[in-house]
Amino acid sequence: MKKKLQILNKSFNEPISCLTAYSAPIAKILDGIVDIVLIGDSLGTTLYGMKNSQKVTLDMMKYHGLAVNQNIKKSITVIDMPYKTYNTKDEAFKNAKALLKFTKVKLLKLEITEKNLSIIKFLSSKNINVIAHIGVTPQSFKDFKKIKVVGKTNSESKRLIELALNAERLGAKAILLECVTKETAKKISTVCKLPTIGIGASKYCDGQVLVFDDLIKMDSTQHMPKFVKNYLNFNNLAKKAVRKFSKDVKQKKFPSKQFTY
């Protein structure tokens, strides 16, 4: 694990790549190709069709986390602490310990604001590795359509820089920046000794993360944020395959002798 964690070092000689996974097959695809595999609470909206991530439970994260981590041999795995599972230090420690013990994942990601900064220090003192997620914190939104870029004003930028530095001082292993302006992201990445991983936070971060399902356009009806780049239109490819299957069945071409016992 220590060797793997070397990637979370500012001196790592190339940008860090990170994608989400919620299942064993996707974990197998990503393993060893991306540096970090994130079991994100984005599974709420991506897999379960939720409007936000607030109804994602600890048990959901446990079982998806286990399925992913059991199939990762080379990459680092990180798992999200779900909404309202780390409101207090004791609650955070109890739930973090249960989540890590069940999944065997070694790194937790928490959405951090000034109000819960102290939890980083407490968990770090208990030898729990924490990645601080700052900027836009999706768990605080019931309606994702209301999410806006942060760090535009001097006061906002200053607050985020201070938040990042405090997270570093209190023991975080890395900083994830979501929907932060490039100027602010560049400043944070410059002043922080920790690596920064961006999602909608410019090329100036030390790494980049995207939701895998967005990357391959799993759902063509879902509105994608500006920062999402599609590398494959899986939705179209899958529909073509399904249409071909349905046609073969109706024309009694499937199952042929080849697929019959």
Catalytic residue ranges = 178
HEC secondary structure over the chain: CCCHHHHCCCCCCCCEEEEECCCHHHHHHHECCECEEEECCCHHHHCCCCCCCCCCCHHHHHHHHHHHHCCCCCCEEEEECCCCCCCCHHHHHHHHHHHHHHHCCCEEEEECCHHHHHHHHHHHHCCCEEEEEEECCHHHCCCHHHCCCECCCHHHHHHHHHHHHHHHHCCCCEEEEECECHHHHHHHHHHCCCCEEEECCCCCCCEEEECHHHHCCCCCCCCCCCCCCCCCCHHHHHHHHHHHHHHHHHCCCCCCHHHCC
Number of Cβ within a 10 Å radius of residue 186:
17
